[in-house]
Structure 1
């Protein structure tokens, strides 16, 4: 497939996990991809891996908490590729909850919101003029089911819920400029953050109606769909990609022995 032949794509948090899988999918479908990450060395390794496969990818260190760094990354994409057609807001920060809500720290709350939500705002603000100029611009945000229901992590969940709202309001603004804005909300996905925790993932898999946790490629497929012409009449939506976990209380269903 070459749905993105000639497209220029910038992905944040793309050195590993969902971001790296998304970069692979875009590049495999013909896009020129700028792999950005706060870990510049890891971003370069990810981009080099794509180039080794004959794909087009460059790397750029970008901290989405830094407005100047974001603007420099967008400028680098435009300078390198001549345009910018797709922005994927994937970078995030997730702080563990304190045992008691009242023991939570301002710093943890601020970090989750600044990187996960405000970082996406900074990137969209810098990219929007270029996306509008492309004539086929799209923004895809990577949210979470945490932004839709209670799965813990107060600050991270609040940031992801805010990202749903930002997606909706930005879609309303950007539509007149020819830019679509959508969000993918994943459930549990097997990434490096779960390394060494296979027992936990196996326990989670039993809660998912489809019987497994997600893989980064599952989310990459949804992101690329929303960025493509296949989704040309879709904007402002949240596409839940979660193996069915938000369909209902799976624990209750398993415990039920008869009609309620």
Structure 2
């Protein structure tokens, strides 16, 4: 579903981890409002498939753990569109069946933080001069309710909490350059990571979420579109919770979601399964 608005006519947009799920939904939403979108993903083939479905979209393989690849993606967007107005940080890493804290390995901890948090830093660092030059620049990062409650995945939660801190600190330094920086924290979202578990997903929505369902990728895409647009011209440094009322009403249900929800340890997964 789209709004019929055209808030992004002439905009150039770069979205990481955009081959599927929240990233792909966000690409479709912004493109439907006039944006020209660069689909980036660790899986270059999947990025190409998604871009082929979106009019005017381009694609490039990009590992956000690699500074050179990040800078190449930003350069591609500027070359292709003549401008870079919006960066959406969506790529992340999250371990399946996270171990007990004392069993967490240095490798897993470092990987999750490097992709989820430092990856967003690399993208923002490369994009910021172009976002400032556009005169309407915006960064929107996809966080998670994991950053706000005990969901049992220490590395992922720490990375997402760090991302919220980066959002706030970068907002202050980017504001004088005319760039706004915000974040969306989703609850459980119906993404490809839930394939084959529809019954569990439906039960989770009905039993845990106050609004009676889990979120759809389009719910998050709509929030990103708002924060990236001039409708949010006086909003920066904000973390917007989009979780169906979960943490406002039932913060004690964090463990219930942990038991039901796992995601693949791949950057091509979109952030925000919970």
Give the aligned partner of residue 129 of structure 1.
129
Give the aligned partner of residue 258 of structure 1.
none
The answer to whether the 8 Å contact 2:89/2:139 transfers is yes
**RCO higher in 1 or 2 (8 Å CA, sep ≥ 6)?**
2
Residue 37, structure 1, aligned to residue 41, structure 2: yes
- Output the CA distance in 2 between the equivalents of 1:249 and 1:36: 35
Deviation, structure 1 residue 203: 2.7
Moved over 4 A (4+): none
Q: Number of paired residues?
A: 248
- Which ranges of structure 1 fall in alignment gaps of 5 or more residues? 253-260
Give the aligned partner of residue 185 of structure 1.
185
* 1:166-205 matched pairs, under 5 angstroms: 166-205=166-205
Shift of the 125–250 alpha-carbon distance from structure 1 to 2, 3 Å rule, reads: closer
CA-atom RMSD, angstroms?
A: 1.1
Deviation, structure 1 residue 189: 0.2
Deviation, structure 1 residue 98: 4.3
- Output the CA distance in 2 between the equivalents of 1:165 and 1:19: 22
Give the aligned partner of residue 249 of structure 2.
248
Give the aligned partner of residue 224 of structure 2.
223
Shift of the 169–202 alpha-carbon distance from structure 1 to 2, 3 Å rule, reads: same
Residue 13, structure 1, aligned to residue 17, structure 2: yes
1:74-118, Cα deviation, whole Å (9 max, x unpaired): 001001111100000000010135443211111111111000000
The answer to whether the 8 Å contact 1:132/1:179 transfers is yes
Deviation, structure 1 residue 57: 0.3
The answer to whether the 8 Å contact 1:117/1:163 transfers is yes
- Which ranges of structure 2 fall in alignment gaps of 5 or more residues? 254-274
Give the aligned partner of residue 258 of structure 2.
none
1:36-71, Cα deviation, whole Å (9 max, x unpaired): 000000000000011xxxx21000110000000000
Deviation, structure 1 residue 198: 1.6
Give the aligned partner of residue 46 of structure 1.
50
The answer to whether the 8 Å contact 2:98/2:153 transfers is no
Give the aligned partner of residue 257 of structure 2.
none
| Bigger radius of gyration among the two | 1
- Output the CA distance in 2 between the equivalents of 1:124 and 1:98: 28
Matched residue SS, 1:4: coil
